Amino acid sequence: KAGVTQTPRYLIKTRGQQVTLSCSPISGHRSVSWYQQTPGQGLQFLFEYFSETQRNKGNFPGRFSGRQFSNSRSEMNVSTLELGDSALYLCASSLGGHLNTEAFFGQGTRLTVV
Amino acid sequence: DQQVKQNSPSLSVQEGRISILNCDYTNSMFDYFLWYKKYPAEGPTFLISISSIKDKNEDGRFTVFLNKSAKHLSLHIVPSQPGDSAVYFCAAFGSSNTGKLIFGQGTTLQVKP
C-alpha cells in the first residue's frame, strides 16, 4: 500500500511569487491535513480537508489556502511569498472518521524563499 | 498559546537504558494523544497513541502513560537503542477535531552506544 506522497520534495521561490504544493493521500483516506514545520515554531497546523471541504483551519493568514479533489488528493497554495514562509510543509492523511487516531505523514516539501 | 508542551528540548541516554520523554497539555478537550518520531528531512512516523479513557498503552519497547488529572503524558522506551535517536513529538486532538493535531515542540533523543 503506497504511503502519502508529496510533490515536489524541494522548491526554491523568490519573494512575491506564489507556490502550489501537492499531496496524494493513502488510498481510502479521506482526510488530508497540512502542517508547517519551522525551527522556531515546531509543527503548526494549517488546515484540514475532508471530502473536498475544509473542516478545520489553523491560525495562518489568508495567503495560505488549499483544496481537495474528489479523489482526496490535496493542494496547498501560498501566494505573495515571504522569507518567513521558508519551511518544511508536511501533509498527513487519515481515514477521517470520528474516532480516527492515526495520521500518516508524507516526507514533506522543503520550500525555500529567497 | 502553547497547548501542548515538551519542556525538554533534548535528552541523552545510554544504550540499553530507559528513555523517558515528557509532555504536558493544557486543553482538557483533548481526547487522544499520539507520539511521533521524526528524522531530519522526513515526515513524522507514528509510534503509539493513547485514548483519554486509558492511563497506559504498550507496544513492544514503547509505553505511553497518561495522567489526566495532571494533564501529563510520557513515553517510555525500554531498552533504548541507537536507532531510536531522533526528534520525538507528542501531539493531541479532540474528538470534535480529529484532523487537527496540536504538536509539542519536540524533544531530541540521543541514544549513545
Q: Give the domain extent around B46.
A: 4-112
- Quickly tell me which residue has 515571504 as its cell: A82
The DSSP code sequence of B34-69 is: EEEEE-TTS--EEEEEEETT-SEEEETTEEEEEETT
- CB nearest B44 (choices: A50, A101, A105): A105
Distance of CA A85 to the CA centre of its chain: 13
pLDDT tens across B50-69, in order? 999 999 999 999 999 999 99
A-B interface: how many C-beta pairs under 8 angstroms?
A: 72
By CB atoms closer than 10 A (0-12, 13-18, 19+), residue A11 is: middle
Distance (Å) from the C-alpha of residue B14 to the closest C-alpha of chain A? 26
By CB atoms closer than 10 A (0-12, 13-18, 19+), residue A9 is: exposed
- Using pLDDT thresholds of 50, 70 and 90, give the confidence band for residue B45: very high
Distance (Å) from the C-alpha of residue B70 to the closest C-alpha of chain A? 22
Q: What average pLDDT score do residues A64-89 get?
A: 96
For residue A6, the chain B residues in CB contact (below 8 A) are 43
CATH of the domain at B92: 2.60.40.10
Q: How many domains does chain B have?
A: 1
- CB nearest B99 (choices: A4, A42, A48): A48
Q: Given this model, what pLDDT does residue B98 score? A: 66
Name which of A21, A34, A37, A43 to mutate to probe chain B: the one with the most chain B Cβ atoms within 10 A of its Cβ: A43
Q: Supply angle C-alpha A25, A28, A34, rounded to 5.
A: 30
- Quickly tell me which residue has 489568508 as its cell: A62
pLDDT at A4 over 80: yes
Residues 6+ apart with CB under 8 A from B43: A4, A6, A90, A92, A105, A106, A107, A108
Q: Given this model, what pLDDT does residue A96 score? A: 72
Chain A, nearest residue to B37 by Cα: A105
Q: What average pLDDT score do residues A91-97 get?
A: 84
Lowest mean pLDDT among A38-47, A75-84, B9-18, B28-37: A38-47
